[in-house]
Amino acid sequence: MKAVLALENGIIFRGNSFGALRETVGEVVFNTGMTGYQELLTDPSYYGQIVTMTYPLIGNYGINTEDLESLNPKVRGFVVRELCKAPSNWRSTRTLDDYLKEHDIVGIEGIDTRALTKTIRDNGTLRGIIAPLEGFDFDKIYPAFAEFSVTDAVANVTTASVKHFPGNGPRIAVIDYGIKTNILRSLLNRDCEIYLYPAFSTAAEVLSCNPAGILLSNGPGDPKDCQPAIQTLRDLYGRKPIFGICLGHQLLALAKAADTGRLKYGHRGCNHPVKDLKKDLTYITSQNHGYSILHESLSGKPIEITHINLNDNSIEGVRYLDAPVFSVQFHPEAAPGPKDTAYLFDEFMAML
């Protein structure tokens, strides 16, 4: 079936539909990872987004039952250059196409993803619609762009209730803004006991398990949309050691009166070099974010930059000088991507 991807600026790409056949609207972003599509699809941080893979051959190793970062795919749509119809990998249980159909996720293939990526790079993130070609009329669908906005993203992906994962080591309270499973696995592998809290829990609720430390997870959207969560962090600050990842990192900064802003087209991929300023070593990191902490907003505050992005100098990690609190913008839990910064979990453990 023919389909189109229409961008709000009027640029239209033609391709073929796969996965669910219907209309979908979302923010079009690109990811430069060459592997890891299954992890991406199920990463809750992509909630509300249509994800384009810059690597052209997608679906080659199929879908397995293990590499899920949440129970089901969270993307609004998936754009690839060439979908593999006959995947091959010993763990694969089905094709990408079947998987997306099963979960009612719209996909489009056969488009010039490099041209699309350049469009996003040059214009900044754009809204887009994937729709069947038949009966497609740009003017008719145009209002859909305006109507589209991602609201309550975090509310839509956070856990509904408190969850407990037993372990023999330190007890960690994890606030779930849309957590990737591998963050939990990273803690469980270090023998932690985990209490997982919904995003909008109060400080008292989070502290009720008497945790040794608190971990703030990744999650979708603009951090400023999460005011109640920011308030909770203000209350928690200084009470326990805290480690924030991605959205957690941004929310913490907002809680401490720093500011965040939107990046032109975000960082999404597995190859971003981040320098750990203390170690004076650069690590290749897994990233997925559209917002970041603003440099100016840190001045005069007891916040120290610990990590910077070597490509664009953006802030990748900070340490709070008046409390045992630190956070990073990238994903030390990897999945997908390099595991080079897993040492941060160990640093967190050492703080407890």
Partner 1 sequence: MPKNPLIKKTLVIGSGPIIIGQAAEFDYAGTQACRALKEEGIEVVLLNSNPATIMIDTRIADKIYIEPMTVKVLEKIIIKERPDSILPTLGGQTGLNLAMELAESGFLDQHHVTMLGANIDAIKKAEDRQTFKDTMESINEPCIKSKVVGLVEDALEFAEEIGYPVIVRPAYTLGGSGGGIAETREQLIEIATTGLRLSRVTQALIEKCISGWKEIEYEVVRDGKGNVITICNMENIDPVGVHTGDSIVVAPSQTLSDKEYQMLRSAALNIITAMGIEGGCNVQFALHTESMEYAVIEVNPRVSRSSALASKATGYPIAKVSAKIAIGYSLDEITNAVTGKTYACFEPSLDYVVVKLPKFPFDKFVSARRTLGTQMQATGEVMAISNSFSSALLKAVRSLEINMHSLEKVIYSDMTDEQLHDKLKTPHDELLFALTAALRRGMDIELLHNTTKVDRYFLSQLKTIVATEEWLKTTSFDSIDDERLREIKQLGFPDKIIGELTGNSEDYISASRKARGIRAVYKMVDTCAAEFEAQTPYFYSTYDEHCEANPKPGKKVIVFGSGPIRIGQGIEFDFCSVHCIWALKELGYQTIIINNNPETVSTDFDTADRLYFEPLTPEDVESIIDIEQPDGVFVQFGGQTAIKLANFMKQRGIKVYGTQPDDIEAAEDRELFEKILEKLNILRPAGKTFTKITDGIRLANELGYPVIIRPSFVLGGQGMEIAYTDEDLDKFFDIISLIKQDYPILIDKYLPGKELEVDAICDGESILVPGIMEHIERAGVHSGDSISVYPTQSVSIEVKQKIYSITRKLAKELNIVGLINIQFVYYDDEVYIIEANPRSSRTVPYISKVTGIPMIELATKVCMGHKLSEFSYGTGLYPEPDYVSVKVPVFSFEKLHGVDTALGPEMKSTGEALGIGKNFPEALFKGLLGAGMKVPDIDKGILMTVKDSDKPELVAIAEGYQELGYKLFATTKTAGRLNRRLVPTIPVRKISEAHPNILDLIESGDIGMIINTPSRGRQPLNDGFQIRRKAVELSLTCLTSLDTARVLLYCLQNRMLNKSLPIYDLAELMNVEE
Catalytic residues: 246, 331, 333
Can you tell me the distance from the alpha carbon of 43 to that of 181, in angstroms, rounded to the nearest whole number?
9
Please tell me whether residue 61 binds partner 1 under the rule CB under 8 A.
yes
- In the bound state with partner 1, the residue whose beta carbon lies nearer, of 239 and 264, is 264
b/e code 55-88 from CB counts within 10 Å (16+ = b): beebbbbbbbeebbbbeebbbbbbbbbebbeebe
- For the window 274-313, what string marks contact with partner 1 as x by the rule CB under 8 A? -x----xxx-x-------------------------xx--
Can you tell me the distance from the alpha carbon of 209 to that of 199, in angstroms, rounded to the nearest whole number?
16
- In the bound state with partner 1, the residue whose beta carbon lies nearer, of 201 and 287, is 287
Query: SS3 for 330?
Result: coil
Please tell me whether residue 352 binds partner 1 under the rule CB under 8 A.
no
Considering only residues 27, 39, 109, 316, which one is a binding residue for partner 1 as defined by CB under 8 A? 39
Considering only residues 21, 23, 35, 205, which one is a binding residue for partner 1 as defined by CB under 8 A? 35
Q: Is the dihedral of CA 10, 13, 18, 21 positive or negative?
A: positive
Identify whether 56 is preceded by a cis peptide bond (ω within 30 of 0): no
Please tell me whether residue 123 binds partner 1 under the rule CB under 8 A.
no
Considering only residues 55, 320, 330, 345, which one is a binding residue for partner 1 as defined by CB under 8 A? 55
Please tell me whether residue 36 binds partner 1 under the rule CB under 8 A.
yes
Using left for φ > 0, alpha for ψ between -120 and 50, and beta otherwise, residue 329 falls in alpha
Q: How far is the CB of 85 from partner 1 (least distance, A)?
A: 8
Q: Applying CB under 8 A, which part among 48-56, 129-137, 148-156, 188-196 lies near partner 1?
A: 48-56
- Closest residue by Cα to residue 345 from 209, 169, 226, 157: 169
Can you tell me the distance from the alpha carbon of 117 to that of 123, in angstroms, rounded to the nearest whole number?
10
Please tell me whether residue 221 binds partner 1 under the rule CB under 8 A.
no
Query: Does residue 265 contact residue 30 with C-beta atoms inside 8 Å?
Result: yes
Please tell me whether residue 271 binds partner 1 under the rule CB under 8 A.
yes
Q: Applying CB under 8 A, which part among 77-85, 134-142, 143-151, 243-251 lies near partner 1?
A: 77-85
- Closest residue by Cα to residue 346 from 166, 213, 164, 175: 213
Please tell me whether residue 134 binds partner 1 under the rule CB under 8 A.
no
**The residue type at 181:** T
Query: Does residue 327 contact residue 244 with C-beta atoms inside 8 Å?
Result: yes
Q: How far is the CB of 318 from partner 1 (least distance, A)?
A: 20
Please tell me whether residue 270 binds partner 1 under the rule CB under 8 A.
yes
Q: Applying CB under 8 A, which part among 53-61, 218-226, 290-298, 299-307 lies near partner 1?
A: 53-61
Q: Report how far apart, in Å, the C-alpha atoms of 328 and of each of 41, 253, 287, 300 are.
A: 22, 11, 10, 20
Q: How far is the CB of 200 from partner 1 (least distance, A)?
A: 32
Angle, in degrees to the nearest 10, between helices 247-255 and 227-236? 70
Can you tell me the distance from the alpha carbon of 51 to that of 283, in angstroms, rounded to the nearest whole number?
25
Q: How many residues does the chain have?
A: 352
Q: Applying CB under 8 A, which part among 131-139, 223-231, 266-274, 315-323 lies near partner 1?
A: 266-274
Q: How far is the CB of 312 from partner 1 (least distance, A)?
A: 8
Can you tell me the distance from the alpha carbon of 75 to that of 68, in angstroms, rounded to the nearest whole number?
13
Q: What residues between 321 and 340 interact with partner 1 by CB under 8 A? A: 334-340
- For the window 82-121, what string marks contact with partner 1 as x by the rule CB under 8 A? x-x-xxxxxx--------------------xxxx-xx--x
Please tell me whether residue 124 binds partner 1 under the rule CB under 8 A.
no
- Positions in the binding site for partner 1 (CB under 8 A): 30, 32-36, 38-39, 54-57, 60-61, 64, 66-67, 81-82, 84, 86-91, 112-115, 117-118, 121, 269-273, 275, 280-282, 284, 310-311, 334-340
